[in-house]
Structure 1
Amino acid sequence: MRIKAISASTLAMALAACAAQTNEPMSVSQPAQTAAASTEPASLESLISEVSIPYEQFELANGLDVIVHTDRKAPIVGVAVWYNVGSKDEPKGQTGFAHLFEHLMFNGSENAQGDYFQYLQEMGATDYNGTTNFDRTNYFQTVPTGALERALWLESDRMGYLLGAVTQEKLNNQRGVVQNEKRQGDNQPGGLVFYEIIDVLIPDGHPYDHTPIGSMADLDAASMETVRNWFRDNYGPNNATLVLAGDISPAEARPLVEKYFGPIARGPVNEPAQATVPELTEDVRRVMRDQVAATDITRYWTAPGITDRDLTALQVGAQILGGLSSSRLDNALVRDEQIAVSVSAGNYAFQRMGILSVGATAKPGVDPATVEQRLDEIVAEFIAEGPTEDEVRRAATETVASTIRGLEQVGGFGGKAVTLASGEVLAGDPDFYATQLETLATLTPQEVQAAMAKWLTRPGLTLQLEPGERSGEYVEAASVAADMDDGDTGSTSNTVTVTERRDPPAFDELASLDFPDVTNTTLSNGIRVHYAQRDAVPVTRVAVSFDAGSAADPASKRGLEGLALNLFDEGTLTKSSRELAEAKERLGANISVGGGVDRSSFTLSALTPNLAPSVELLADVVRNPAFAPAEIERVRAQTITGIEQAMRTPSSIAQRALLPIVYGENSPYADTGSGTVESVSGITRTDLTGFQQRWIRPDNAEIFVVSDRPLAELTPALEAAFGDWQAPAVAKGTKNFASTSNRTVEPRVVLINRPNSPQSYIYGGLLTEARAQDAGIVDLLNANNALGGNFLARLNMNLRETKGWSYGVRGGPELREEAVAYTIAAPVQADRTGDALAELRREVGDFVSTRGVTEEELTRIVANEILELPGQFETSGAVLAAMQNNALYDRPANYYETLADTYRAQTRESLDAAARAAIDPDQFVWVVVGDAEKVAPQLEQLGLPIERREMN
C-alpha cells in the first residue's frame, strides 16, 4: 500500500500547471489568511500553500488498482472506474469499439439487467456518466455514502459479469444510438472539421488516425463473437483503476472493494499503443465550407504528449497567445484592430501526442487574408520576443483560481477522483498533477518562448472554414436493421445468461439534505443580502441580481439586455476592456454576466484572500460601465455574428421559430434573448444607458453570497462596494406580460428547410396554465420525470433505447417567472423524422390519457429525487443558484429541505392530475428543422397542417 500526501511546499511552487493541463481540481485546506481589506492581490504561494490530495493506494490480487481519498465535507462518495483502453488501442477493422462498449456497459449486466441509469437513479446518484477518448474509457457517479456498497456491486457486475447480458438486440440498438450520436455531431456547423484535422495531421496506421466515434462500417460489420472478444481483452480488473473520493476511509473501503471486485478473474493487460508525434513534411492548406456565419482561419500543429516537459510550456504559451481574456491575439485582432470577432489558442493533449491550435474568426466584411496575415505576424512576434513575466504570472494565477474553484467536487467530469485516476492511468502516477506543477514552478518565459518556437515553426495545417454549401467528406451512417444476424449460432438470442448470481446489497442509512442556513441582511442603502456559508474551499461567490433579464427588452429592441450586459464587462469609467481583463487575471477573479430570461446577474467567483479587491472590481463593472462607442461597435459585431451563427444551428433555428408561436409575438418571452440582426443593429448608446438607468440600479437589486468566511467578515467589503450606491431619478423599468396568457394557437408542423442535414431537429411545445410559484409545480416536474425529464423517461427510452433513432430526447416544463411552457426536443435521423414525430405524439397522448405514471415509475422517481438532494448541493455554486431560484419563485429559504416530505406525499394520481392539467397533446406546435426534400413526404402522413419555411 502506498500512502501519499503532496507537500505544501511543492504545491506552493507549482500548482498553476495543473488546470492548464487537466482542468481537474484537488482538495484544499483552509488558508490562514482571511478576507482582509487589502487591495493588493494575495501572493500565488499563499493561495496554494495548503493544497493537497492525500490518498492511499492498494492493489487486489487480481490486479485491480484502487485509490482512496477521504473528504468528509458531505455524505457522498465519488466513484470512478477507468479502463486502460481508448480508440488509439483499436486495431484496423475494429474502430469505434471502445466507444461502443461505453454504451453497452450502461445497457445492463447479468445481475443488473435493466438500464444502468435505472440503478443509479434508485440510489440517488448525481454527476453520473461515462466517456471515451483516444486513451481511456471511464465511468463515474457520485452516490450517497449509504449507497456506496450498491454502487460497487453495480460497477463490479459490469466489469466481471457483463457478457451474458450483451444480446444481439442490444448490440444492434447501441450501434444505432452511436450512429445518431455521430449524425448529431456532424449536423452542427463545422461538424466535419475534426475529421479533416485528424486525416491531415495523423498518417494512416498511426494509433491516433481515427476519431473515437470510429467507423460505422466497422461497427456494422462486427460479429457478436468479435465484440465479446474485445471485452474479454480489455475490461479485466488488472486493466482498470478504481478511485473512491469522499466520505470514505481506506480502512472502510478495502473490505468492500475486496468483496465485490476480488472474485473477478484477471484478464489480459492492454499495453497502451506506443506512438511517436507525427510531423508533416510540408505545410498543408485546406478550405472547407459549411453553414457558418463567418470565416475561421486556424493553424494546427502536432504536439507532444502529456508527459513531455514541453507540454506545460506550450499550454502557458497558448494561454498567453490566445486563451486569456487579455491574450495578445484578443488585444490586437479583436480589441484594437477589430478585424476579428474571436480568437483561440489551445493544446489538445493526449497520452502520446497532442494537437496545438491558434486561430481567429474574421469579422464579417473583413478580408480573411488580412486576418490571416496579422495572425501570422503576431505568432511570429510572440515566438521572437517570448512572453513577459507578468503574462506568465497572470496565466498562472488564473489557472490556480480555476483549479481551486473545482476543489469542492469529489466526482463528476472534473473532480478529485478524476484527477487521481487520470494521473494513474495515463501517466502511471496518481501524483502526476504534482509533477506538472513542479514543471511549471521552474518554467521561465524563455522556456515558453523556446517551446513555442520549436513546435509552432514545424510544418502544419491551415484550415479555413468559410460560409457556403457544405464541403468535406461526409459518409452517412446506415441504419442497423433490427433483425440483423451475423450468422453465429445463437447470436440473435435476446436471452440473458447469468453465469453467477450476485444479489444487490441493501442500502445503509442515507443522510437527508442539510441545506446551509441562509442569513438575510441589508446594506445601508437598502439592498437585500442573502448569505450562506460553505467552507470546503477558500472561495467566495457573489451574485448581484436585478429584476430584468431578456424579458425587460422592448419588443422593438430585442437583444438590448444581452448587448448591454456584455458591454458592462468590456470597460468601465476607470479601466479599459484590456485593463479590466488583466485586473481579473491578476486576482484570479471570474466575473460573469447573464442571468437568463427573468433576471440580469453579475456573478463574481473570487479567491477569498483576494475578496476585497475582487468585490471592488465587481462593483466597478456593475456601477460604472463606460459604454465606449468603439467597444459598442466591437461587441455589436460579435453579437450579430453570434445571431447569424445561431440562425444556422438546428437547435437555435427551432427555438427561434417556436418561442413566438408559443408565447406570442409581442410577449417578453418571445425571443431567445439575443435579438435579431435588425434589432441589435438599431440599438444606440442612448438605449444602452437607458437600460442601465431603468434596470441596473440599487432599488432593483438583490445580492447573494456563498463564502467560506462568516458574513461579518464580508459585510465591510460589500458595504464599501455597494452601500453608497443611489438610484437614479428615472423610474424603474416595467415588463408587460398581458399578451402571454390565454393564447389560442393553431396546432401544426412548421417545417424549416435545412438542406443536406443528416438529422432532423424536432422541437415541440405549448403554453401551460401552470405557474412556477405554485406548490403543484413539484408534481408536474416529477410527472415529467416519467415522460421526458431524464434518461429513463419514456420519450428517450423509446426513440433512443428501443428504436435507436436518436442520441437523446428530452421534454419538460420551462419554468419562467410569469409563464410555464412544456417543450420536447428530439434530434432524430432524417429518414425516421415522420415516424419519430408520430411516436412523440403517441407517447404524450397516452401519458395524459390511458398510460399515466406507473407504480414502478413513481417509486423510482420519488426515491431518486429524495436521495440525490445531498449530492445536488455539494458545491457553493449550486447553493448560490438555489438561493437565487428561491428568491425568483418566492420560496422560503429552507425550500429544498422541505422537498423530501413533498416527494413522499406524491401519488400516481397527484402526478397524473398535474400532467393532465398542464399538457394538452392536441395543442402542440411542432417545429422540424431538416432537409425538406427528405422530410416533407414523411410529415405529410401525420395528418397535421404543414407550414413550410426556408432558412433566413
Structure 2
Amino acid sequence: MRRRLVSLAAVIAVISPASTVWAFSPATEGAPAAITAVQAAPLQGAPVSELVARVDIPWTQFELDNGLRVIVHTDRKAPVVAVSVWYNVGSKDEPAGSTGFAHLFEHLMFGGSENSPTSHIQALSAAGATGLNGTTWFDRTNYFQTVPVPALEQTLFLESDRMGYLLGQVGQEVLDLQRGVVQNEKRQRDNQPYGLSSYAQQEALFPVGHPYRHSTIGSMADLDAASLETVRNWFREKYGPNNAIVVLSGDIDEPTARTLMNKYFGSIARGPVNTPAEADIPTLAAPVQDVLKDRVAQTRISRAWTVPGLNDPDAVPLAVGASILGGLASSRLDNALVRGDQTASNVSADSSNFQRVGFFSYSASVKPGGDAAAVAARMDAVLADLMANGPTQDEIDRVVTQYAARRIQGLEQVNGKANALAEGLLYSNDPDFYKKELAAYAAVTPAQVQAAMQKWLSRPVYSQIVEPGEREAYVEAAAAPSGATPVPAAEIQRVARDPMPTIGDVSNIDFPDVQRATLSNGIEVVYAQSTTVPVTRVAIDFDAGYAADEAGSLGVHSMMLNLMEEGTTTRDSNALAEAQERLGASIGVGASMDSTAANLTAVTTNLDPSLTLLADVVRNPAFAPAEVERLRAQRLAGLANEKTQPGAIAARALPPLMYGENSPYGRPFSGTGTEATITALTRDDLVAEHAQWVRPDNAKLFVVSDLPLAELTPKLEAAFGTWAAPATPKGTKTFPADLPATTARIVLIDRPQSPQSLIYGGAVLPMTGTDDLLTLNAANAVLGTDFLSRINADLRETKGWSYGVRGTVNQLKNRVPYIVNAPVQANQTGPSIAALIAQYERFLETDGVTPTELERTVNGDTRGLAGSYETSGQILGALRSNALYGRPDDYQETLASRTRALTAAQLDAAARAAIDPDQFVWVVVGDAAVVKPQLDALGLPVEVRAIQ
C-alpha cells in the first residue's frame, strides 16, 4: 500500500460539518472503533401526485385504408422526428419448429429491401439517424430511429419498403448470412456466466406448447432447419400494415403526417390478421428445483413464478412488491442479506409484465465460501414476512416516486415518447395506457400489494441454484452436410416504386448557450439550459479518475468512490438510499480513467433537497468501518466474478500489455483493482484518498436544467459554496514520457467450454486526447466503428462469424489507445484475426477511403448532430467533454462545417499516421484446446495463460 502522511483527525475535521454528532464505540482488540452517524432529518420532496401530473404526451391518431394505425405527437424542441414502427408479432407467435423467426426477421429487415437493396443501416446512418436499432421480444418486433426533418421522407420510404417490398431481397445467401449472425448473437449471450439459466427457467415454468416457453432468440436446430420459403411465408403472414403501428414523434404535425404516410405506406396491401397467441398463466403442480453447474464464481439462488400480464389489475401491485422486496436500493433483501447479515454480495427482485403473462422472480448471489442453504432460507423468510405483514406506505411512496421520476426523464427523447404511445396502443389498445399505469402506481395501497403477492406467490415455486462447476455440453449449430443443396424457393416478382426521395439540406446544430458562474470558494459552474422536461442534471467533476491509483495500490480510488455512496456522517447507507427514493433523485459517484464525478439527476421540483443530498455525499462520506468491510467483501467477490466473464478477462489483460504496468493507463480500465490491494486497504487509506482528490480546489460543477442560471447559483452556493479544501496538497498524476515498444503477438487466455472466442487487440497511438481527433475518428468510422465499417462488414455481414466487431479510438486524455473488440465463433478464431489484420493492412496500405464511404461518413456525422444533443444528459456530457479535452464552448457547432470539409486523402493520411497493425497485441479469451491450433497457424508468437 502507498503511504499517506495525512492526519486522520485533520481530514475528518475538513469533510465533516460542524453540526455533525459522532458516536464512537470502543474498539475490541484488533478491530477498528465503530463509528455511528446520528441520522439527519428526512428530506421532503413534492407529493407523488404533483410528479404524476407532469407526465403527459399529447397525441392524435388516424388509420390508413390498409389498416395501418398511425399516432402523431408534436414536439418542436428540435428539428428531428422519431419514426417508430411496431409489429404485432413476437416470439410467442412462433409455432413449434420455427423458434427464433421473429428475431431472425429483425435482422433480415435491416439487410435491405427490393427498392433499397443495400443495408438499411447504411442508408439510415447516412441520413443522420440517431438511436437507430430494432428489438424483438415475446410480444413485438420494433424498429426505431430519430432523424432530422429533411431526412423524414427518405426514412418513411425505407420503412415502407421493408414492410411492403422486402422478400425480393431475401434470397438464400441473405438468409444463410443472417442466420449465422443470429447464431453468433446467441453464442455471445450464452458464453456469459449464468448464460444458460434462463432457458431452464422458461422450460420449467411453462408446459410444452405454451407460447412463452421458448426463448426469443430461438434454438440452433430451428434456425438451422429454416428453409427460404418457410421464412418468407412467416413474413407474408405476420408483417402486413394492418398488423403494425407507426408513431411519428417530434417536429411534425398530423396533416403533414397524413400526407406522408398515405404517400409511402398507402399502397401496401393488407396482410392476414395476426391474432396474438393466447396464453394462460400456468401453475406448477408442485415446487420444482433445478441445480445447474456453470463456470461461475458464486452460487446464485433464484425463485420464480408466472404471474399475470400487464393489463391485469394485479400487475402494478406485483411490480411494486418486487421493488420493495429487491428492486430498491433500500429493499428488504438488500437490508437483510447484503447490509444486514452480509451473506449475499447482491440481490434482486423483479416483476416483468408482458402482454399475456409475467415473471416474478428474486435472487441472491451467495458470498464466496458462504452457506447457500442459509442464504436461501433467509431470502425466503424475507419474502414470507412481506407477504404476511405487507409493505409500509413509506415503502410504496418511495417506489412510486422513483417510477414517476423515471417516466418524466424518459419523456425527454422524442423516441421515448413514441415508445410509450406505441406500447399502449399495441398491448392495451390505448396510447394513454402509460397514464393509467401511473395512476395505478400512485393509488396502490399496502393491502393491494399484500393481496396480490399472497395470491400469486403462494403457488408452487420454481427454484434454481447455479453452482460453480463444469457446464453441461453446449448445443452448437449443425454443420451443413457436404454438398447439401438448399430447398429452392419460388421466384419473387419485384414491384418497382418511385425513386427513393433525396434528403434536403440539414441545418447545423444550435447548441445551447454556455454560461458560467463562480461560487464563493472558487468552484467554477458551467451551465446550459434545457427546458424540455422539468429535470436538472448536475455533475461535479474532479481531476482524478482511475489513473489516480498508484501502480502498487490499484482499486483504492474506485473503492473510495463506492464507499461515498454507502453513507455519510449524517445518513447511513440505508437512510441515504431511502432519501434518494423519496425525492425521485439519482446520485451516482464514479470515474473514467481521467476524471471522477458525482452525478445527480433530479426532478426540478425536488432540486433543493436533492442538492442537499448530493453535497452530503460529496463532502461528508462516513467511510464507516462496517461499510468498508462489507464493500471489501463485495469487491473481492466481484473480482472473482470478473475471472468468469470473457470481456472482463480480456479487459484486464490488454492495458498493461499496451502501456506497461507502471503507466497510470497500464491497468484495467474498470478500476476494480487487485485482490491484494483490496484485502490490505484500510479506512485511513480511503479517508486520505478522498482528501487528495475529492476537494473544492480540484472540482468543477456542470449543470443542465430547465431553471435559469441566476436561479440555480444560490442553490449551488448553499450546497457547495462553504466547502473548504483540506490543508494537505491535492493529488497529482504522473505519466511516463515513453511507453514500451510493442510488436504483433497473441496472448491466449484459456477459458474452457467457450462456444465463442473474444478477441481484444490494440496498441497505443502517438497522440493525446486533447489533440484534434476529428479526422482520425472520421477515418476510423470507415475502418472500425460504423456498422458498415471494413472490419464489421467483413466478419459479420460477409462471413457471418460474429454478431458485431468494432475498432475504437479511445480518447484518453494523456495517450490514446486503439482497441479492437471482436467476439467470434470459436472455430473461426484464427481466421478472424487473419481477416482483421488483412483489413487493416489493406486499408492502411492500398485501399483507403472510397468516395461512397466518405459521403456516407460525412453525411451521417453532420446530419446526426441534431439528434445527438436532444437530451439534457447529452448536453451535460458535451459540456464535460469540452472541459476535459480543452475544447471551446462552441465546439459542437463547429463540427458540421469541419466535417463537410474533409477529403478522402485527409482521412487516409490521419489513419496511416496513427494506426499500425504490426504493433497490435492480440488477447484472445477462448477454449485453448479449440483455438490454439488456429492461432499457431498465423505465424505470430502465441503465449498461453491461465485466467489470472
State the alpha-carbon separation in 2 of the partners of residues 901 and 509 from structure 1. Answer: 13
For the residue of structure 2 that corresponds to 1:927, the secondary structure is strand
Amino acid at match of 2:904: R
Relative distance call for 1:935 and 1:302 in structure 2 (3 A) is same
Report the more deviating stretch, 702-711 or 645-654: 645-654
| Selected match of 2:328 from 321, 324, 327 | 324
State the alpha-carbon separation in 1 of the partners of residues 679 and 497 from structure 2. Answer: 67
State the alpha-carbon separation in 2 of the partners of residues 743 and 933 from structure 1. Answer: 31
1:435-584 equivalent positions in 2, closer than 5 A: 435-471=436-472, 474-478=474-478, 485-488=485-488, 498-584=494-580
TM-score of the aligned structures, taking structure 1 as reference length: 0.94
Gaps of 5+ in 2: 1-41
State the alpha-carbon separation in 1 of the partners of residues 754 and 54 from structure 2. Answer: 52
1:317-716 equivalent positions in 2, closer than 5 A: 317-411=321-415, 415-471=416-472, 474-478=474-478, 485-488=485-488, 498-672=494-668, 673-716=671-714
State the alpha-carbon separation in 1 of the partners of residues 146 and 152 from structure 2. Answer: 9
Equivalent residue number for residue 799 of structure 1: 795
1:816-895 equivalent positions in 2, closer than 5 A: 816-895=812-891
Q: Residue 490 of structure 1: CA displacement?
A: 6.7
State the alpha-carbon separation in 1 of the partners of residues 849 and 731 from structure 2. Answer: 43
String of CA shifts for 1:324-355, please: whole Å, max 9, x gaps.
01111111111121111111000121111111
Amino acid at match of 1:232: R
Q: Residue 484 of structure 1: CA displacement?
A: 6.0
String of CA shifts for 1:84-138, please: whole Å, max 9, x gaps.
1111111111111111111000001011100111111111000011111111111
State the alpha-carbon separation in 2 of the partners of residues 70 and 764 from structure 1. Answer: 46
**Structure 1 runs, 4 residues or longer, greater than 4 Å off:** 479-484
RMSD: 1.4
For the residue of structure 1 that corresponds to 2:414, the secondary structure is coil
Relative distance call for 1:230 and 1:114 in structure 2 (3 A) is same
State the alpha-carbon separation in 2 of the partners of residues 580 and 812 from structure 1. Answer: 38
State the alpha-carbon separation in 2 of the partners of residues 354 and 265 from structure 1. Answer: 34
Q: Residue 909 of structure 1: CA displacement?
A: 1.0
State the alpha-carbon separation in 2 of the partners of residues 279 and 439 from structure 1. Answer: 26
State the alpha-carbon separation in 2 of the partners of residues 367 and 450 from structure 1. Answer: 32
Amino acid at match of 1:71: D
State the alpha-carbon separation in 2 of the partners of residues 497 and 655 from structure 1. Answer: 50
State the alpha-carbon separation in 1 of the partners of residues 743 and 496 from structure 2. Answer: 57
Relative distance call for 1:679 and 1:101 in structure 2 (3 A) is same
Equivalent residue number for residue 9 of structure 1: none
State the alpha-carbon separation in 2 of the partners of residues 812 and 447 from structure 1. Answer: 51
Equivalent residue number for residue 27 of structure 1: none
For the residue of structure 2 that corresponds to 1:341, the secondary structure is strand
Maintained 8 Å contact 1:111/1:502: no
Q: Does 2:744 correspond to 1:753?
A: no
Report the more deviating stretch, 701-710 or 501-510: 501-510
State the alpha-carbon separation in 2 of the partners of residues 830 and 853 from structure 1. Answer: 31
| Selected match of 2:60 from 52, 56, 62 | 56
Equivalent residue number for residue 34 of structure 2: none
State the alpha-carbon separation in 1 of the partners of residues 112 and 232 from structure 2. Answer: 15
Q: Residue 783 of structure 1: CA displacement?
A: 0.4
Counting matched residue pairs gives: 905
| Selected match of 1:767 from 758, 764, 769 | 764
For the residue of structure 2 that corresponds to 1:785, the secondary structure is helix
Maintained 8 Å contact 2:660/2:739: no
For the residue of structure 1 that corresponds to 2:661, the secondary structure is coil
For the residue of structure 1 that corresponds to 2:858, the secondary structure is helix
Q: Residue 747 of structure 1: CA displacement?
A: 2.1
Relative distance call for 1:136 and 1:899 in structure 2 (3 A) is same
String of CA shifts for 1:230-270, please: whole Å, max 9, x gaps.
11101110011111111111111100000000000111010
Equivalent residue number for residue 236 of structure 1: 240
| Selected match of 2:729 from 704, 728, 731 | 731
State the alpha-carbon separation in 1 of the partners of residues 441 and 810 from structure 2. Answer: 46
| Selected match of 1:80 from 84, 96, 106 | 84
Relative distance call for 1:769 and 1:479 in structure 2 (3 A) is farther
Q: Residue 743 of structure 1: CA displacement?
A: 2.4
Maintained 8 Å contact 1:173/1:482: no
Maintained 8 Å contact 1:90/1:97: yes
State the alpha-carbon separation in 2 of the partners of residues 767 and 368 from structure 1. Answer: 45
Maintained 8 Å contact 2:558/2:591: no
Relative distance call for 1:446 and 1:295 in structure 2 (3 A) is same
Maintained 8 Å contact 1:236/1:266: yes
Equivalent residue number for residue 107 of structure 2: 103
State the alpha-carbon separation in 2 of the partners of residues 479 and 812 from structure 1. Answer: 33
String of CA shifts for 1:347-372, please: whole Å, max 9, x gaps.
12111111110111111222111111
State the alpha-carbon separation in 2 of the partners of residues 429 and 697 from structure 1. Answer: 51
Relative distance call for 1:373 and 1:199 in structure 2 (3 A) is same
State the alpha-carbon separation in 1 of the partners of residues 487 and 377 from structure 2. Answer: 58
Q: Residue 47 of structure 1: CA displacement?
A: 2.3
Q: Residue 482 of structure 1: CA displacement?
A: 11
Equivalent residue number for residue 892 of structure 2: 896
Maintained 8 Å contact 1:172/1:484: no
State the alpha-carbon separation in 1 of the partners of residues 487 and 56 from structure 2. Answer: 55
Maintained 8 Å contact 2:52/2:438: no
For the residue of structure 2 that corresponds to 1:942, the secondary structure is coil
Equivalent residue number for residue 135 of structure 1: 139
String of CA shifts for 1:829-849, please: whole Å, max 9, x gaps.
000111111000100111111
Q: Residue 39 of structure 1: CA displacement?
A: 6.2
Equivalent residue number for residue 30 of structure 2: none
State the alpha-carbon separation in 2 of the partners of residues 666 and 456 from structure 1. Answer: 54
Equivalent residue number for residue 743 of structure 1: 740
State the alpha-carbon separation in 2 of the partners of residues 219 and 622 from structure 1. Answer: 52
State the alpha-carbon separation in 1 of the partners of residues 477 and 786 from structure 2. Answer: 26
State the alpha-carbon separation in 1 of the partners of residues 539 and 783 from structure 2. Answer: 34
Amino acid at match of 2:740: R
Relative distance call for 1:52 and 1:947 in structure 2 (3 A) is same
Maintained 8 Å contact 2:189/2:195: yes
Amino acid at match of 2:437: Q
For the residue of structure 1 that corresponds to 2:293, the secondary structure is strand
State the alpha-carbon separation in 1 of the partners of residues 604 and 439 from structure 2. Answer: 25
State the alpha-carbon separation in 2 of the partners of residues 502 and 189 from structure 1. Answer: 50
Identity of aligned residues (%): 57
Maintained 8 Å contact 2:229/2:489: no
Maintained 8 Å contact 2:303/2:362: yes
State the alpha-carbon separation in 1 of the partners of residues 864 and 539 from structure 2. Answer: 25
Amino acid at match of 1:747: A
State the alpha-carbon separation in 2 of the partners of residues 897 and 291 from structure 1. Answer: 49
For the residue of structure 2 that corresponds to 1:408, the secondary structure is coil
Maintained 8 Å contact 2:115/2:497: yes
Amino acid at match of 1:911: L
| Selected match of 2:218 from 205, 210, 214 | 214
Report the more deviating stretch, 871-880 or 898-907: 898-907
Q: Does 2:190 correspond to 1:186?
A: yes
TM-score of the aligned structures, taking structure 2 as reference length: 0.94
